[in-house]
Structures are given as C-alpha cells and as structure tokens.
Amino acid sequence: MNKKTILSGIQATGSLTLGNYLGALNNWVEMQEEYDCYYMIADLHTLTIRNNPETLKENTLKLIALYIASGLNPEKNTIFIQSHVPAHTQLSWILNCYTYMGELNRMTQFKDKSSKHADNINSGLFTYPVLMAADILAYNADLVPVGDDQKQHLELTRDIAERFNSLYGETFKIPEPYTKKVGARIMGLQNPTAKMSKSSQDPMDKILLTDSPDEIRKKFKKAVTDSENCVRFDRESKPGVSNLMSIYGIIKNKTMDEIEKQFEGQGYGAFKTAVAEAVIERLEPLQNKYNELLENPDKLMAICNKGAKKAEEKANRVLKDVYKKVGLVIE
C-alpha cells in the first residue's frame, strides 16, 4: 500500500512549549501509524536569529530526545536534522528564484520577527519561508502537520509549487496543512490573546515541556481568566478560560460541552487545578523518557544519521528532477 507522506519540523530554540506539543508534536505521534513520516529538527531555520553555537548544538540534541520522548517511534518515522540533508538548501536556492519579494513581504511572521530583532533583520529571516517550502516540497509531502501560525507559510509553499508546476509541468505535489480545530493555537497564560511562544519574555506566560510539577501548578494557578467564575467556552469574551479548556480538552479527549458540564457550579480554582494535574500527568512520563534518552547522546545521533540517509535518498530524487526541469546539466 502506498502511504501518504508527511513532513514537519520544529526549530531548535530552547525547550518546547505546551503550544508546540499540543499544536504539532502530539498530532505527529497520532500520524505515525498511517503515514510515511519525515520529522526534522529545523536547525538551519534557527540560524535566522543569533544563537550561542554550543547552545544550538545542545538544543538540537535535546529536541531529538523530545521528539522520541513524546512518542515518535524512530523505527516508524524518519527523524533527521535538516542541515544533514543538503538537498534542502540546494532546492531552496532554486525556489528563491521563483518567489517574489512582494510575497515574502506579506509574511506576518517576518514582520513580527523583524520588529522583535530590529538589530538583526538578515536576509535569511526574509527568505526563511522559502527554505520551509523546500523542506516540504523536497519530499513531495501530502500533509504538513503544523499549528495555525505556520499556515501562511504553507499557503506560500503551495503558491510556489503551483507556479513551478505551471512553468515546467507536474513536478511538486501540492501540500495541505494539517491542523486540528482545537489546539492549533494555544495561547499564552498571561496574555491569552497572543500565542504561547518559546520566545516569550514572561516565564509565567508559557508552560515548558521540561517544567517541574510545581512550576506547572504555579503557572496555571496564576493564569489570567475573567471575573465570571464560570467554566464556559467563548474565545471572544473569555479567551483565558477558553484556552485552558482547549488544553484540558486535548489532553483528556473531551469536548468543550463535556468540560462545561464537568465543572458546572465549580469556580476557577478547582478547574485550574484539574488542568494543571492533567498536564503534569501527561508530561511526567515524557520527562522521564527525555532525561533517560539524554544520557545516551550517541544513540540519538545514530537515529538521526540513519534518518538523514533515508531522507536524502528521497529528497535527492526530487532535486534531480527539478535540476533537469530548469535546465541544469546533471553529471
């Protein structure tokens, strides 16, 4: 049977948040049985901001461990490091020549990141979505599981692929984003109108996958809600409570209606405690596995080396086809 192909990745910038987990990683785990999955560490994308080289190395290894600790089976998925497969950057250059400045100028993440890093608006930050398009198109991915914030990049990827196909004939599959209705945008705990982000300056705004149970309890206890004291889903007027309900709903596999009924007549105190305990219960085995995996970095590297070999075979086939189509001479 021909399985559909999935590709996705996460940047190696520090510990992941509950947003990364619920919006992306958790869905990846669900997909591993049914699809041919390629999951990479987007280390090249991480270079668009300034990193300490030692920290980047450490974060890359930690992220591999987190992928596996979250439930990705290295036997069933191709797990690899983006920079180990040169086809990504090779294809990216070609796709740059089929992407317009105007398109890149419209990317909200570029505007957002350049305002946050005003002293370092490098051209990598600008062409970042083209490298992401290359990541996806090099595998002819059918589906790309991401959170809501990456959807605009996916649309651009589709536009680039369609443009290339219409110029040179069927070359790339047109990928679809895969997001779930609940969880595609987990919001900050202190500012529930903005997404929970790894780069948030306020530690109380984000739950890290490596937070201790006490930290998690403290952060949920202090999470911003409203004065109604009634657990009811309404993103517009109750963004804080609705966000907590989304988190609880994904972890406990409950609908918003079920959660409203479960906490009827109870105040926010009891609800927040239940959310915190659900998160702790989910993260505890993940953290144990993560710490265990980090004790054996050679094993993690072996998994990635094997993954890169398999990824390279697939990506090189697509790259060769693209070279031929645009008229590059292949030896």
**Which residues of the shown chain bind ligand TYM in the complex (CB under 6 A)?**
7-11, 19-20, 23-24, 42, 45, 132, 135-136, 144, 146-147, 149-150, 184-186, 195-196
Minimum gap (Å) between residue 88 Cβ and ligand TYM = 9
| Smallest gap from residue 294 Cβ to ligand TYM (A) | 20
The answer to whether residue 4 is catalytic is no
Residue, CB closest to ligand TYM: 23
Q: Which of 62, 113, 219, 238 is catalytic?
A: 113
Q: Is 198 a catalytic residue?
A: yes
Annotated active-site residue in 4, 173, 180, 198: 198
Q: Please state the closest distance from residue 7 (CB atom) to ligand TYM, in A.
A: 6
Nearer to ligand TYM, 92 or 225 (CB): 92
Pick 250 or 322: Cβ nearer ligand TYM: 250
Tell me, letter by letter, the H, E, C secondary structure of the chain: CCCCEEEEEEECCCCCEHHHHHHHHHHHHHHCCCCEEEEEEEHHHHCCCCCCHHHHHHHHHHHHHHHHHCCCCCCCCEEEEHHHCCHHHHHHHHHHCCCCHHHHHCCHHHHHHHHHCCCCCCHHHHHHHHHHHHHHHCCCCCEEECCHHHHHHHHHHHHHHHHHHHHHCCCCCCCEEECCCCCCCCECCCCCCCECCCCCCCHHHCCECCCCHHHHHHHHHCCCCCCCCCCCCCCCCCHHHHHHHHHHHHHHCCCHHHHHHHCCCCCHHHHHHHHHHHHHHHHHHHHHHHHHHHCCHHHHHHHHHHHHHHHHHHHHHHHHHHHHHHCCCCC
Q: Which is nearer to ligand TYM, 49 or 301 (CB)?
A: 49
User: Is 173 labeled as catalytic in the residue annotation?
Assistant: no
Q: Which is nearer to ligand TYM, 31 or 146 (CB)?
A: 146
User: Any idea which residues carry the catalytic annotation?
Assistant: 113, 195, 198
